[in-house]
Amino acid sequence: MSNFNFLEAMQQEQETMSSGERDEIPTPNNTPIYIDKRNTPELTLRILPSLAMAKQEAGAQLGVKQRTIFFNLKMTSKIQTTNLVLPQTVDNTNETEQKVNKWTSDGFANRMMTDHGPAAPSNTYWLNALVLERDNTGEYVPKKNDQGVPQVFAFRIGWSGYSKILKQASNVDFAIKNDQGVLDSFISFGKSYPVQIGKSSPTEFSVQVLANKTLPIIEDLPGVAKQLDDFENIIKPTNVTQPNWFQSVVYFMEEMGNPNGEAAQQQATASGLDYTKPAFSTAQPVAGESFPDPFAGVNIDESAIPNKATAQTPPAAQTTPPAQATQSTPVAQTPPVAKAEPATQTEIQTPSEAASIDDMLANILGN
């Protein structure tokens, strides 16, 4: 007779089923970084043009907008903060948009709340950037990956900070001559300036262009260009990227919020989905951030983060959100942040052979 125990096997399967289906959290292609007054109060960056700009797409913009809403979600005896990603622009045909509209209308207004008042959508912007460090001569040089190529990071910043970056980038006083001798923005793949970004107050960003520190043309344009992220995988609505978790949020908002909520919960548990086991993180938010951290609780390659001593992985989930908590993220699984594939050598023209950097980019990106 076999020693295989059918009862134990089925009990293990039931336990797995009872934990509910979970979705992975969408992440950028590159390691995410952001200003954190407590852990990373300042970053010196070389901000790169967006992938759409590099491809010279019509209407291309510098930052990629992510529209989110975060609120306190009542889960049986717990209250946990969570967030939903909405369409970039209002889309009443989208299910996430429809549910948020419903929950912020009569009957749900008192439940769509944060620790600071009623919940409302907010805009976050994502940019490709190089993290700059000082070498032994005091000059700013980009942090490099294991292949010796400048490493591109996914820089996230709120609307107020992004608007300041855009204002400086469009200011002719900070313009710099491009490879064709024409004044252009300092945000380019050619000559550029470092940008120091920090927090001047808990809610305000400071943005300073170091125009006395000219940065050279990017030394490995193919290696950098191939790392550029369009951020498409993280700006899609939650009902598209995390359908199972989205339905869990719907359940708690609509079933647990009615007089028969407890009975509904018991029925759902009996069917094999135990919604009392949170799929959400209660990690303490970044001080002063006015938007949720979509990667709280996600394993991040710490060796890729500048100033590792100060850029820490978000704390573990707690039963009750901290007093200052303003954000959280569903954490069902902890997938590592996807790394950009090592850049492959591409036969391209050298700067002296190419008509311009734009021609080089067209050759690299195939646009």
**3-state per-residue secondary structure call for the chain:** CCCCCHHHHHHHHHHHHHECCCCCCCCCCCCEEECECCCECEEEEEECCCHHHHCCCCCCCCCEEEEEEEEEEEECCEEEEEEEEECCCCCCCCHHHHHHHHHCCCCCCCCCEECCEECCCEEEEEEEEEEEEECCCCCEEECECCCCCECEEEEEEEHHHHHHHHHHHCCHHHCEECCCCCEECCCCCCCECCEEEEECCCCCEEEEECCCCCECCCCCHHHHHCCCCCCCCCCCCHHHHCHHHHHHHHHHHHHCCCCCHHHHHHHHHHCCECCCCCCCCCCCCCCCCCCCCCCCCCCCCHHHCCCCCCCCCCCCCCCCCCCCCCCCCCCCCCCCCCCCCCCCCCCCCCCCCCCCHHHHHHHHHCC
Q: Is residue 274 one of the residues assigned to a domain?
A: yes
Look-up of token digits 């978790």: 245
pLDDT score of 179: 77
pLDDT score of 325: 36
pLDDT score of 363: 67
pLDDT score of 137: 92
pLDDT score of 257: 57
Cα–Cα nearest to 246, from 28, 21, 74: 21
Q: Is residue 206 one of the residues assigned to a domain?
A: yes
What is the rounded distance in angstroms from the CA atom of residue 211 to the CA atom of residue 192? 9
Q: Is residue 104 one of the residues assigned to a domain?
A: yes
pLDDT score of 100: 93
Number of structural domains (the chain) is 1
| Residue 291, CB-side half-sphere exposure with 13 Å CA sphere | 25
Phi, psi angles (nearest 5°) of residue 40: -130, 80
Q: Is residue 345 one of the residues assigned to a domain?
A: no
Q: Is residue 151 one of the residues assigned to a domain?
A: yes
Q: Is residue 310 one of the residues assigned to a domain?
A: no
Q: What angle do CA 212, 170, 353 make, to 5 degrees?
A: 70
Q: Is residue 209 one of the residues assigned to a domain?
A: yes
Range of the domain at 144: 21-304
Q: Is residue 218 one of the residues assigned to a domain?
A: yes
Number of Cβ within 10 Å of residue 218's Cβ equals 22
Are the C-beta atoms of residues 149 and 343 closer than 8 Å to each other? yes
What is the rounded distance in angstroms from the CA atom of residue 365 to the CA atom of residue 224? 11
Q: Average pLDDT per run of 10 along the chain, which is 367 residues long? A: 74 54 85 89 96 93 95 77 93 96 73 81 96 95 95 96 96 89 92 93 88 93 95 96 91 68 43 37 35 44 42 38 38 40 41 58 69
pLDDT score of 23: 79
pLDDT score of 263: 40
